[in-house]
Structure formats: structure tokens, C-alpha cells
Amino acid sequence: MQLTINGKNHEVDVDPETPLLWVLRDEVGLTGTKFGCGIAMCGACTVHVNGQPRRSCSLPVKLVDGDITTIEGIGTPDAMNAVQEAWVENQVAQCGFCQSGQIMTAAALLSMNPEPSDDDIDRAMSGNICRCGTYPRIRAAVHAAAAKMRGA
């Protein structure tokens, strides 16, 4: 099966029912995407398919219908995406486990809504659970990333 992940083509030989998450982590070796619940309840496994956030733990790889972007694909430690920068500047992460999912959701929100209100942020981010309770910092960082992206 052919997959495009972070702009690169990958040939993977897997059961088509395999959740995308395990293809990314175990077959392709991209371990930035995390496993929390396996039933689309926590958001830790969020990636983009055609720019839209999807819960990779619940998406059988046979249903992937576009280009995949993971946390490794939106920026690197040397060349961070505006959302990642805002995350660092606001010191959002506590344990960090949920944060790649949080950042992927935030990036998708900002691509569709460049100036979200608090409520827009809460509505987008409420499917991403943080057991460390970093929610206030997440909201602040989304506003900060939005300002960066608008060049403000």
C-alpha cells in the first residue's frame, strides 16, 4: 500500500484494517504521534489527512484518502512551525504526552480560522484531553500562534 507521509512516499505492507497510528509508529518509525485510548476519545493520536485532523488510532489505513501530515511534518526543532514556537514560548507542555495531538489540532484550527475566539479554541480543542491540565496554556498559545501567523 502506498502512503504519502510528510511529503514522502512510503510503501507499507500491512493488514488494511491496521489503524493508521500503528502504521506510522511501527512500520514507518514516526513515533511523535502518541497512543492514549485507541477509541477516538483523547486526541493524542491526531494527525492530518489532507490538512484535516483525524484520530489515527481509529482510522483503518485502508480508509486513508489523502496525504498524511504528522507532528514531524509540520516543523522540526530547528525550523519550528508557528504553533510549535508558540508552544515553546508559552511553555505549554507538562509531561508532553498529549502535546503532539494538541499541536496538530491547533494547527488545523488555525489553517481554517486565523483569528479564533476563546470559544472557537475550546470547541476545536475539547476532543484533545490533557491529563496534566495544561488547558489555559494551550489556549494562550493558540492565540499567540494565531498572532504570529497573521504577522501581528
Partner 1 sequence: MRASLIKIAAVGAFLISSPNAQEAEAPDEASGLAAWAKIYEIFSDERCASCHVADGRPMWSGEHYGGTYKHPMYVGGSPELLLGHPGLMCTTCHMAENAQKLHGPPGAEVWHLPPAEMAWWGKSSTEICEQVKDPTRNGGRTLAELQSHVAEDPLVAWGWAPGPGRKPAPYSAKETADFLVAWSASGAPCPPAD
Of 42 and 145, the one with the shorter C-beta distance to ligand FES is: 42
Decide if 20 contacts 28 (C-beta within 8 A).
Answer: no
Number of H helices, E strands in the chain: 6, 5
Distance from C-alpha of 23 to C-alpha of 89, rounded to nearest angstrom: 32
Instruction: Out of 16, 51, 60, 66, point to the residue binding partner 1 (CB under 8 A).
Output: 60
Count of residues of this chain found to bind partner 1 when the rule CB under 8 A is applied: 27
Distance from C-alpha of 152 to C-alpha of 148, rounded to nearest angstrom: 6
Question: What are the residues binding ligand FES (CB under 6 A)?
Answer: 35-38, 40-45, 55, 57, 93-99, 130-132, 134
Which residues contribute to the site for partner 1 (CB under 8 A)? 38-41, 46, 52-55, 58-60, 63, 105-106, 108-109, 112-113, 116, 120, 122-127
